[in-house]
Amino acid sequence: MAKIINIIKGAKDILPCEVEQWHKLEKNALDIFGLYGYKEIRTPIFEATELFARGVGDTTDIVNKEMYTFEKSERLLTLRPENTAGVVRSFIENGMFRLPAPVKLWYKGPMFRYERPQAGRQRQFHQVGVEMFGIKEPAADAEVILLAVEYLKSLGLNDLQVEINSIGCPQCREEYKRKIKDVLKPELDNLCEDCKTRYEKNPLRLLDCKNESCKRIFEKPGIYDVINSDYICQDCKEHYEKLKSYLNDSDISYKENKLLVRGLDYYNRTVFEIKSNCLGAQNAVCGGGRYDNLVKNLGGEDTPAVGWAMGMERLNSLTEKIEPEKLKAYVVCEYPQEALKLTQEIRGYGFSAEFDLSGKKFVKQLEKAAKKAQYAVILGDDELKNNKVSVKNLETSCQITVNRNELKSALTQ
């Protein structure tokens, strides 16, 4: 016997019994995002490696540790670890910056990161996300947060906590970075290896560390006072205050979190996460923020932008499980040619239908119908002779016999 080839660690099959759950996530996205004026975009799952190095940031864990990169025809290509950079590339390349602002796009699909698999997170995982281009005002920040909350609530997730922060603009962040380095210098030897690297390359990302010993250091009184200081410039402060005003007016409950910086280098000003209390420690279901410099950094016009992404595996783990939908009809007939003809007739009405393909006896066919379908459509000798069919409701056991041309109506009662 040939050796079985198993699935790669960190990947997962989505089985037929699970896929309707995914359809719900996708359908709700299509419906709700459409109400807000977002149009779906589908980008390739691989891009030039340089796109992520420049876009996501070469100091991030994603670029340094987690990307699946390969060489083809002397060019480095990478399976996308996130989709904002790809959407921005498409926005520039396809001239969408010429469209009237705002340009609103949404996406869904697989992403790839080499990291330790855990509950709700795989090496191939799926995200749904939105990006809005062309609006610098905080109304855009507020709208994408409102959209995220509405989408999550449509999936039955109501136990949500919105956390927000402003990390300022590149100008007002420089002094803050210097202060962080100064206050953490005595603790440098006690930081994790990743934080020691971040200390030199991007000190703001120290605050994104998930290491518990580093978190305890950041919570020390003198250090926390610096981290919690009000360092952003007046323009950034006004933007942040206006965002909070919009959220207050929209009855969105939120918490300010000065340690929230997000893990990607392209963010500026607003950053946010939405958490579910059902998930334990790793409880973020949505993360995003403003990235006003990314389009320009990737070669486009100077264009403000804001967006977010959600992990679909995590959403699936939190939403109520859907029972697989039954067939509308199962044709019970011992004459295969007639059964096929009738099944095709029912499918022509727009109803799902099957018949027995293996030559089972009448009683066995009826047993199978009871497991798979809402109705058994019975075509026996009497029905064939009189151009009739018997329709049995398998939930109520009520059975009626109707003329063949009345079958469609009988299946809707």
Say if 256 falls within a structural domain. yes
Q: Which of 167, 233, 254 is nearest to 205 (CA)?
A: 167
| Mean pLDDT of all residues belonging to the chain | 90
- What value does the mean pLDDT take over residues 136-158? 96
On whether both 352 and 280 belong to a single domain, the answer is no
CA distance 125 to 409: 44
pLDDT of residue 120: 60
Per-residue pLDDT band for 365 (boundaries 50, 70, 90) equals very high
CA distance 65 to 81: 11
pLDDT of residue 259: 78
Residue 217 predicted with pLDDT over 80: yes
pLDDT of residue 211: 81
pLDDT of residue 273: 95
The 10s digit of each residue's pLDDT in 3-18 is 999 999 999 999 988 9
Residue 308 predicted with pLDDT over 70: yes
Q: List the alpha helices (DSSP H) in 349-400.
A: 362-372, 381-386
DSSP 127-181: EEEEEEES--SHHHHHHHHHHHHHHHHHTT---EEEEEEE---HHHHHHHHHHHH
Say if 2 falls within a structural domain. no
- What value does the mean pLDDT take over residues 212-235? 83
Output 119 or 374, whichever has higher pLDDT. 374
Write the single-letter amino acid at 183: V
On whether both 300 and 381 belong to a single domain, the answer is no
Output 235 or 281, whichever has higher pLDDT. 235
CATH number for the domain that contains residue 403 = 3.40.50.800
On whether both 182 and 268 belong to a single domain, the answer is no
> Three-state DSSP class for 63?
helix
Say if 49 falls within a structural domain. yes
Say if 195 falls within a structural domain. yes
The 10s digit of each residue's pLDDT in 50-91 is 999 887 776 666 776 788 999 988 899 999 999 999 999 999
pLDDT of residue 279: 61
Residue 30 predicted with pLDDT over 80: yes
- What value does the mean pLDDT take over residues 28-53? 96
- What value does the mean pLDDT take over residues 372-382? 95
Total structural domains in the chain?
Answer: 3
On whether both 290 and 186 belong to a single domain, the answer is no
Residue 165 predicted with pLDDT over 90: yes
On whether both 219 and 236 belong to a single domain, the answer is no
**How do strand 254-256 and strand 160-166 relate by DSSP bridges?**
parallel
- DSSP E strands, 218-258: 254-256
The 10s digit of each residue's pLDDT in 266-286 is 889 999 999 987 665 568 899
Say if 214 falls within a structural domain. yes
On whether both 104 and 205 belong to a single domain, the answer is no
| Domain stop point among 271, 290, 318 | 318
Say if 5 falls within a structural domain. no
- What value does the mean pLDDT take over residues 360-389? 94
pLDDT of residue 389: 95
CATH number for the domain that contains residue 281 = 3.30.930.10
pLDDT of residue 58: 62
Q: Which of 113, 107, 150, 167 is nearest to 131 (CA)?
A: 107
CA distance 29 to 363: 44
pLDDT of residue 263: 62
Domain ranges, residue 217: 172-224
pLDDT of residue 133: 98
On whether both 48 and 126 belong to a single domain, the answer is yes
On whether both 123 and 242 belong to a single domain, the answer is yes
Say if 9 falls within a structural domain. no
| Domain stop point among 318, 351, 378 | 318
What b/e readout covers 25-53, taking b as 16+ CB neighbours within 10 angstroms?
A: beebbeebbeebebeebebeebbebebbb
pLDDT of residue 282: 61
On whether both 196 and 211 belong to a single domain, the answer is yes
Which residue do the tokens 């007639």 mark? 338
Q: Which helix (H) or strand (E) holds 227?
A: helix 221-227
pLDDT of residue 129: 97
On whether both 32 and 162 belong to a single domain, the answer is yes
Residue 26 predicted with pLDDT over 90: yes
pLDDT of residue 341: 96
- What value does the mean pLDDT take over residues 291-311? 95
CB atoms within 10 A of CB 58: 13
- What value does the mean pLDDT take over residues 14-24? 91
> Three-state DSSP class for 327?
strand
The 10s digit of each residue's pLDDT in 80-133 is 999 999 999 999 999 999 999 999 999 999 999 998 777 667 899 999 999 999
Share of the chain above pLDDT 70, in %: 97
CB 247 within 8 A of CB 256: no
- What value does the mean pLDDT take over residues 201-206? 78
On whether both 92 and 110 belong to a single domain, the answer is yes
On whether both 343 and 206 belong to a single domain, the answer is no
CA distance 306 to 21: 28
